Amino acid sequence: MSYDFDAIVIGSGITGGMAAKELTQRGLKVLILERGRPLEHQKGYTTEFVTPWDAPNRGQFDRDEIARDYPIQSNQPHGQFKWDNKHYWVKDSEQPYVQAKPYSWIRANVLGGRSLLWGRQVYRWSDLDFEANKRDGHGSDWPIRYKDIAPYYTRVEKYIGASGENLGLPHFPDMELQPPMEMTAPEKVMREKIHAKWPERYLTIGRTVNLTEKKNDRGPCNYRNICQRGCSFGAYFSSLSATLPDAQKTGRLTVKTNMVVARIVTDDKTGRATGVETIDAATGKRKTYTSRIVFLNAGTEASVQILLQSAGKQHPNGLGNKGDVLGRYICDHDAASVFGVMPGLEDRYFYGRRANGIYVPRFRNLKGVREEGVEFDRGYVMQGGSARMGWTDMAGDGDDFGADYKRRLAKPGPWLVYLGGAVETLPRAENRITLDPVARDRYGLPQLRFDVARGDNENKMADDAIREGTAMLEASGAKVLGSGRFGNLPGVTVHVQGGARMGNDPMTSVLNAHNQVHGAPNVFVTDGSAMVSAGSVNPSLTFLALTMRAAEYAVAQIKAGKL
């Protein structure tokens, strides 16, 4: 059979971009299919240099527009959705889905996907994460361990460029890092006080893919903290700043945007993929592109949807769904935060607008089983930061008026400090995504139906994160002002994983140890849907390493005549 392309990559976010780079650089002719609109690095960042006073409505939203078109995207708890990147997100009004239980599906709608909009924190998993399911009995065992992926972590880190500090902790593996960004005065106090009281707890600067040194054509971070507008300097890693340009340089990449994937087409006799059926978002016209292999990197929820839609004679319940596992075991991270005021240090300020925060590695259940006195399985990390209060924070304080009021607001206020626990949720079969039997989208495709909820373990862990966060702030000398659950709605923290998990048994997993679909070995899935559990640290670096590993394996299989 002759093919239009050697490989089709579905999605252009961090994993789709990495797949395209790796496959083209290894000699394959590659097509990227992206559902969103086109966007060009640098030229497409139309709001990057717009000042707040020149922003439409001074940066305030049109409330009617937000309520109509962005009720879900705008409800992100950490302020990711802003006036200056609104045009990168999907319009909820145009891409509906069914919520059997409340769920926030956070999605981009441009070439590069959420690689333009992510928080940029990167951490290696350790065997504490890869062995978690086997140790405590939740979910199924991972088919790989840290040693299998460690070489790819190293290669990814050297390529993407991450800054931070190594601590030499076995459960928080060291990385290939550029020099760290500096912590503020109160953060340094927190680090000292916390470690003095709890020697097993370490506060460090975040490990971020914001460069602190020039790397190839990408410049260092300018400390503007407007990353999610798009960065013309390429100071943070995205598909547009790194992987797609490198893939384009090979001359072997074709990119098609505004392409909705209807299904992966499979051969009725072999079950293997022969291509991808698409729908032109503008015209509704359907077309099938053929290829030797397919890499599915549409994002956890969308990848599960495409696999479910790709039912065929050899895959009657969805691609790779022999054991009714596809769409199940959805997990992510909950969030529980504590914030307060640090007295003193008012003669100190911060430099620029650091696009990074602080990080406290996991300190609960470090042997993989419940410690004495702990009421939950797994663990959590703490992320946080600090800033001086400004006039918007202090405007309602005091009883002064006129010139005195203006003078007070012209000076920086006290230091705000906060810590937020990123709580690992457990993989459970009842947390699932399905195709709704009735609701359809504008293209006639089934809408996704979400039936995902938090459990008792997550609630207990979040409570512990609030208690321990409060204790750590107080030990640092801060006055705690409040706390709360700011990510308890599934999906909203964007670390959504599972649904097409890896494993050794086709009856209990969708993918094998090399991210190949069981029964369709020329289909590789390497985004968050491939994950077997959520882990306790941010997952994106693991997605990238799995993608690089799978791409290397796929090309080797092609050369060996097996694909």
- 3-state secondary structure (DSSP) of residue 359: strand
Return d(Cα 54, Cα 468) in angstroms, integer.
43
Q: Are 216 and 382 in contact (CB under 8 A)?
A: no
Return d(Cα 496, Cα 490) in angstroms, integer.
8
- 3-state secondary structure (DSSP) of residue 186: helix
DSSP 8-class letter at 43: T
DSSP 8-class letter at 370: P
Q: Are 116 and 36 in contact (CB under 8 A)?
A: no
Instruction: Give strand ranges (E) for 168-301.
Output: 204-205, 253-256, 259-266, 273-280, 286-296
Query: Is 15 annotated for ligand binding?
Result: yes
Return d(Cα 477, Cα 467) in angstroms, integer.
16
From the CB of residue 371, how many other CB atoms can be counted at a distance below 10 Å? 11
DSSP 8-class letter at 163: B
| Residue 209: burial class (beta carbons within 10 Å; 0-12, 13-18, 19+) | buried
Q: What is the CA radius of gyration of the chain?
A: 23
Read off the tokens for 469: 């966060």
| One-letter-per-residue 3-state SS of 290-319 | EEEEEEECCCHHHHHHHHHHCCCCCCCCCC
Read off the tokens for 471: 């204790």
β-bridge mates for residue 337, sequence order: 420, 484
Q: Are 447 and 439 in contact (CB under 8 A)?
A: yes
Return d(Cα 190, Cα 498) in angstroms, integer.
35
Cα–Cα distances (Å) from 19 to 389, 526, 552, in that order, read: 43, 9, 10
- 3-state secondary structure (DSSP) of residue 422: strand
DSSP 8-class letter at 91: P
| Residue 534: burial class (beta carbons within 10 Å; 0-12, 13-18, 19+) | buried
Return d(Cα 527, Cα 500) in angstroms, integer.
10
Q: Are 109 and 88 in contact (CB under 8 A)?
A: yes
Helices (H), 70-145: 127-130, 132-136
Q: CB neighbours of 399 closer than 8 A, spacing ≥ 6?
A: none
Give which of 428, 426, 397, 427 is closest to 413, Cα–Cα: 397
The binding site for FAD consists of 15
The binding site consists of 15
